[in-house]
Amino acid sequence: MKYSEAGVGRVFVLRLEHGDRIPDIIEEFADNHQVNGALVFFLGGAEKDSKVIVGPEDGKEAKPVPMVTLLKDVSEALGVGTLFLDQQGKPKLHLHSAFGRGRDTVTGCTRQGVEVWKIGEVVMLELTGSSACRKVDPETGFELLDV
């Protein structure tokens, strides 16, 4: 295990609009407000056909191929993630969410694009004083947290 200590800076409360796309809207906000690290909470609705990464096709591959699924209908959503700068100095969100409708639930990563349906609320807790950043791991191709 590796770690980096951080403090809590600003706290942002965002109301996302219908059609806003996660992760783009959150990364853009962070870039505009010079947020280099944050803990991100998301609550709201997700539009039909939003893309969710639901795992690697085969967990044994050296460079896993992501499995992407489309949400079958409008869904309730709840997510938590982190945001840190990538190697180009741009904010990069890693947000996992659960999307539910009735008794069906899809859980996965939002990096392929989840559109907000009507309601999207985000609370972002800025993390300060940390050297953590995202770097591409040559073995897997994942942007991993480097501390």
Q: Does position 61 have pLDDT exceeding 90, yes or no?
A: no
**By residue range, what is the domain housing residue 28?**
14-129
For all residues of the chain together, what is the average pLDDT?
A: 96
Q: What is the pTM of this model?
A: 0.95
What per-residue confidence (pLDDT) applies to 17?
98
Task: Please report whether residue 146 resides in a domain.
Answer: no
Closest CA to 49 of 99, 121, 120, 92: 99
Binning pLDDT at 50, 70 and 90, where does residue 62 land?
confident
Task: Please report whether residue 34 resides in a domain.
Answer: yes
30 backbone dihedrals φ, ψ, rounded to 5°: -60, -40
Task: Summarize the confidence of residues 53-61 as an average pLDDT.
Answer: 87
Task: Please report whether residue 68 resides in a domain.
Answer: yes
Contacts of residue 42, defined as CB under 8 A and 6 or more positions apart, other chains included, come to 22, 77, 78, 79, 80, 81, 95, 97, 120, 121, 122
Task: Please report whether residue 6 resides in a domain.
Answer: no
| Domain CATH code at residue 55 | 3.30.1330.80
Task: Summarize the confidence of residues 74-78 as an average pLDDT.
Answer: 98
Parallel, antiparallel, or unpaired for β 104-109 and 91-101? antiparallel
Task: Please report whether residue 21 resides in a domain.
Answer: yes
Token digits for 76?
Answer: 């309730």
Task: Please report whether residue 8 resides in a domain.
Answer: no
Task: Please report whether residue 99 resides in a domain.
Answer: yes
Number of domains in the chain: 1
Residue predicted with more confidence, 75 or 59: 75
For residue 23, whether the previous peptide bond is cis, meaning omega lies within 30 degrees of 0, is yes
Task: Please report whether residue 33 resides in a domain.
Answer: yes
